Amino acid sequence: MRDIRVFTDQPLTTGEKVTLDTIASRHLATVLRLKAGDPISLFNGQGGEFLATLNECNSKQVTASITDFTDTERESPLHIHLGIGMSRGDRMDWIIQKATEVGVTEISPLYTERTEVKLKGDRAEKKLRHWQQVSISACEQSYRNRVPVIHPPIAVNQWLSSVEAEKKLVLHHRSQHSISELGEQQTASAALLIGPEGGLSTDEIKRAEEHCFMPLALGPRVLRTETAPVVAISILQSLWGDFL
């Protein structure tokens, strides 16, 4: 049986029993068809993972006994904060899922001049919870034990004024500078700004430069807004993170 990894936001302690939420219970019992006695791994985003054995497993409730703790850390030494212009449809889901898989630490959805998505009130809260669940699912799949922070959407100017990092980078396909110019000098943190469909405006690029962001191109081809984050983060991980 393959490893079954489940996130829970409750405290976990070896020797204790836990009751999983309805969503996890339904998935384990109905989709994966697990039964009492089957092993699973639990993590709560605080680091490490817990081995557990199912006591009760049905679509309404799953309980498990925690038997062991493994202090396994799979996080990159590079802290990456992605600021991404919000996109329509399922593009944001894809971006969050893949950025989580390649090791992003924080994601800030941004309102830009060309952002067509407007979220307010209950709709904004519901969308944020959905994105957080997308990231959690990606952590379960990719064996991450710490869940990236998904921030509430804010204006790009507000993000530019508040984000802190050793390296600040903005993707701009017309830039004369290549990401290969960054060099291999060790860096502990990077902020990466990427626009929505249509890219960032000239004024937004200028404001990013005023906040010490370096415009960079990924090459001669123009990448989709959902492709660019995965490529850029992977390159940063290769330079300063844990991609060998």
DSSP calls for 113-147: TT------HHHHHHHHHHHHHHHHHHHHHHT-SSP
Between 5 and 120, the more confident residue is 5
pLDDT in tens, 20-50: 999 899 999 999 999 999 999 999 999 999 9
pLDDT tens digits along 135-145:
999 999 999 99
What would the mean pLDDT of 202-226 be, rounded to a whole number? 95
pLDDT score of 244: 74
Quote the radius of gyration of the chain (alpha carbons, Å). 20
Query: Where does the pLDDT of residue 178 fall: very low under 50, low under 70, confident under 90, or very high at 90 and above?
Result: confident
Enter the CATH code of domain 79-240: 3.40.1280.10
Interhelix angle 228-240/91-101, nearest 10 degrees:
10
Distances, alpha carbon 231 to alpha carbons 138, 194, 215, in Å:
17, 12, 16
Write down the number of H helices and E strands in the chain. 6, 12
In the beta sheet, which residues pair with residue 43? 7
Which tokens go with 154?
Answer: 């804010």
Lowest mean pLDDT among 13-17, 37-41, 58-62, 78-82: 58-62
| Listed residue (124, 188, 133) closest to 153, CA to CA | 124
d(CA 77, CA 119): 33
What is the residue extent of each domain of the chain?
Answer: 5-70, 79-240
pTM of the model: 0.94
Fold of 5-70: Ribosomal Protein L25; Chain P (2.40.240)
**What is the C-alpha to C-alpha distance for residues 54 and 47, in angstroms, rounded to an integer?**
22
- Tokens representing 234 are 């992977």
Q: What confidence category does residue 184 fall into, taking pLDDT thresholds of 50, 70 and 90?
A: confident
| Residue 213 pLDDT > 70 | yes
Over the chain, what is the mean pLDDT? 94
The arithmetic mean of pLDDT across residues 87-97, rounded, is: 94
Task: Indicate if the pLDDT at residue 2 is higher than 80.
Answer: no
Contact 151, 108 (CB under 8 A): yes
pLDDT value at residue 1: 57
